[in-house]
Chain A
Amino acid sequence: MMPRRYAALMLALTVLLLVTLALSLMAGKYPVPPATLWAGLTGQAIPDTVQTVLWQLRLPRALAAALIGAALSAAGAAYQAMFRNPLVSPDILGVSAGAGLGASLAIFLGLSMLWVQGLAFAGGVAAVACVYLIARAAQRHDSVLVLVLAGVAIGALLSAGLSLLKLLADPAVQLPTITFWLMGGLHTVTREDLPWLAPGLLLALLPLLLLRWRVNLLSLPDDEARTLGQHPARLRLLLIGAATLMTACAVSFSGIIGWVGLIMPHIARLLVGAEFSRLLPATLLLGASFLVLTDLLARTVSSIELPLGLLTSLLGAPFFLFLLLRARKPS
């Protein structure tokens, strides 16, 4: 792809993100006329209620959606590059299952929301750490294959634990809370959450940005990469670490949101190709715009609020099938 065309595309994606962010400030259940919105944006006096709606409810939510969408998509792109497989999503190593179990445990024990977030994060990281250690112990098999298989097994174990908690939870109060957590949503995100969410995600994104050139080498078989002077195992560990931290951090604030990490890298690949240093920025921007837009739908299409994870699946799965049917066999 020509550099100029790439630059134009990046510009278009940035504009898309800004437009979706602006849209999500404008739309919602509380009617805010355009004139009031403009007054609010330019710092003029507006009613207190509108202030609350714009700066406490809409803006933190839209920003959180952008950050989480970008993080999940980038993690998805990293996982797909690492496993040399486009059908991989960030949950393949059990991060979502671990986070789900951690959050449900905190809800079951009646701990505060801070604990729910903390245990979700810890659960996600711990699950992937387990998978990685097991895969390293099983050295006689292909390392990537063992990672995936260990991920499946640990995921199954964690789901069993989750089922047990659901069985023991109070059906009138705790069970709905657990269920809704597992369906994901951003309506509990506050302004005070952003100073935690943003640095966490950026910190985890840093290794991906710095190593964006080298990630391409993972598409080669390990021994070939080694002849080029690389350490594919070390690189893989670093990528797994970064992508896991990113996903766990995002999920601990939003609950489980599926499909974003699987679909967004695909669309980005259609636009800019598979080269990771080009793919990553496009994926980040696309993922951010997509989740901002989906969250906008979640809070506006019906009189009640729809769970975000439900909507991303509803939009993501059909699109994925479309991609599958459309893909041509390599000639």
Chain B
Amino acid sequence: MKRRALLGAALLAPWLAGARWARAGAPPLPTSFALYGTLRQQPDLRRLLAAGRPAAVLLYMLAPQAMLGWPARFAPAAQAEIAPDWRELPYLGQLSGRGSTLPLESVVALQPDLIIDTGTLNDTYRSDAERTARQTGLPYLLIDGDILLAPQTLRALGQLLGTAERGERLAAQAQAILAQADAQRRRYQAQSEAPSFYMARGADGLETTPAGSIHAQALELCGLRNVATPMGGAGLARVSPEQLLLWDPDYLFTHDPEWYSLAARSPQWARLRAVREGRLILAPGEPFGWLDIPPGMNRLLGVHWITQALAPGATPATTRQAVQNVFELFYHHPPSSRLLDAAARLSA
């Protein structure tokens, strides 16, 4: 009996002792930042690895000179909207726990000073980041991707990366954009005339991002009302054509140029008031989606576009100008006239 007990204890011991790890001490960072591993002491961080697409947007805005590469391949049209200096950075793949396409050994070989990821700060991604930091011995910074925290995030990350001045400029712009959007939302609320919208996704346009989802957030921030009701998850919802007729939204937004040209010509979609009255809007997707895809800081440009284009007295010319200024500030490069034309269509 004694032997059996000993055997049992021997088998259980590693279970009880295993998998407890110490968390490294972090420098003073905002609570929306979580750092795993330790940062090397140096004046600025010169080699930065973006773990995913939202992080790449953030780094491209703040410190493109330190980026080691892109986590995803660009379509040619999107690549042309990136500043020439960083257009040809290598494609590396993305690093996000289970969904990684970038092998950890390649990460170690790249020797980044810091790995940066941004998105939802839940336990899955926290523990993933922590694990990656532990496996590679490289510091890993996870940042809450909430667009409402954009000014704070840009400022704090700029300070951390040694680009404080740029961070400050971007933060001020982000603050102005969010304030304008908030003012517009209040105005709509006060007059109770918020225009409604439907975000068409999927090959047939009958998938949508329901209200409250992060993928519809940019439009909702500007005070527009999502016709699709929440469904208890962040996933896409399928909608029937009948339901859409019943909702009869004021605006139909899409990110998909293929579907946009299809819907603009099809008699089925012409039954919708928004399409008949020219409020079927293609949201530009270059260099990153303006309203979503990825759901990162790129949405600031979209929020700015929507508030400027729907402001009282807006004309295609004022919209073009407003969008051009912010685009150049964010992306180090003037937008093509094709993008500006697409943006101006909203105030036509």
* Contact A198 B14, beta carbon cutoff 8 Å: yes
| Pick from A116, A170, A180, A194: contact of B235, CB under 8 Å | A170
Would you give the shortest CB distance from A155 to chain B, in whole angstroms? 22
Chain B: CB-nearest residue to A255: B98
* Contact B137 A192, beta carbon cutoff 8 Å: no
| Pick from A52, A195, A303: contact of B15, CB under 8 Å | A195
Bound-state CA distance A175–B233 (Å) is 12
Is residue A110 contacting chain B, with contact meaning CB distance below 8 A? yes
Is residue A159 contacting chain B, with contact meaning CB distance below 8 A? no
Q: A110-B120, A112-B124, A177-B96 are in contact. Are A53 and B236 (CB under 8 A)?
A: no
| Pick from B15, B102, B124, B137: contact of A196, CB under 8 Å | B15
Bound-state CA distance A58–B93 (Å) is 20
Would you give the shortest CB distance from A32 to chain B, in whole angstroms? 9
Bound-state CA distance A167–B93 (Å) is 25
* Contact A56 B103, beta carbon cutoff 8 Å: no
- What does the 1/0 interface line of A198-229 toward B look like (CB < 8 Å)? 11101100000000000000000000000000
Bound-state CA distance A112–B121 (Å) is 11
Is residue A85 contacting chain B, with contact meaning CB distance below 8 A? no
Bound-state CA distance A51–B120 (Å) is 32
Chain A: CB-nearest residue to B14: A195
Tell me the chain A residues, 21-35 only, with Cβ under 8 Å from chain B.
Answer: 28-31
- A112, A169, A193: residue with the most chain B Cβ atoms closer than 10 Å: A112
Q: Specify which chain A residues have a CB less than 8 angstroms from the CB of B43 in the assembled complex.
A: none
Bound-state CA distance A195–B98 (Å) is 21
Is residue B190 contacting chain A, with contact meaning CB distance below 8 A? no
* Contact A115 B131, beta carbon cutoff 8 Å: no
- B17, B108, B125: residue with the most chain A Cβ atoms closer than 10 Å: B108
| Pick from B12, B123, B233: contact of A112, CB under 8 Å | B123
| Consensus secondary structure, chain A interface | helix
* Contact B99 A180, beta carbon cutoff 8 Å: yes
Q: Specify which chain A residues have a CB less than 8 angstroms from the CB of B125 in the assembled complex.
A: 110, 173
| Pick from A49, A173, A179: contact of B108, CB under 8 Å | A49
Bound-state CA distance A200–B15 (Å) is 8
* Contact A173 B106, beta carbon cutoff 8 Å: no
- B123, B126, B236: residue with the most chain A Cβ atoms closer than 10 Å: B123
Q: A52-B137, A169-B233 are in contact. Are A107 and B105 (CB under 8 A)?
A: no
Q: A29-B103, A49-B111 are in contact. Are A56 and B14 (CB under 8 A)?
A: no
Q: Specify which chain B residues have a CB less than 8 angstroms from the CB of A111 in the assembled complex.
A: 122-124
Chain B: CB-nearest residue to A51: B137
Would you give the shortest CB distance from B114 to chain A, in whole angstroms? 16
Bound-state CA distance A116–B126 (Å) is 13
Is residue B162 contacting chain A, with contact meaning CB distance below 8 A? no
- What does the 1/0 interface line of B265-296 toward A look like (CB < 8 Å)? 00000000000000000000000000001110
* Contact B120 A305, beta carbon cutoff 8 Å: no
Q: Specify which chain A residues have a CB less than 8 angstroms from the CB of B106 in the assembled complex.
A: 29-30, 303
Would you give the shortest CB distance from B71 to chain A, in whole angstroms? 11
- What does the 1/0 interface line of B87-130 toward A look like (CB < 8 Å)? 00000010011111111111011010000000110111111100
Bound-state CA distance A30–B106 (Å) is 6
Q: Specify which chain B residues have a CB less than 8 angstroms from the CB of A56 in the assembled complex.
A: 134-137
- What does the 1/0 interface line of A180-200 toward B look like (CB < 8 Å)? 110001011010111110111
Q: A181-B98, A304-B93 are in contact. Are A192 and B19 (CB under 8 A)?
A: yes
Chain A: CB-nearest residue to B17: A195
Q: A29-B103, A195-B19, A303-B93 are in contact. Are A177 and B233 (CB under 8 A)?
A: no
Question: What 4 new A-B contacts, CB under 8 Å, besides A110-B124, A169-B234?
Answer: A56-B135, A171-B234, A177-B98, A199-B15
Q: Which 8 A-B pairs have the closest CB atoms?
A: A168-B233, A110-B122, A195-B18, A170-B234, A112-B123, A29-B105, A112-B127, A195-B14
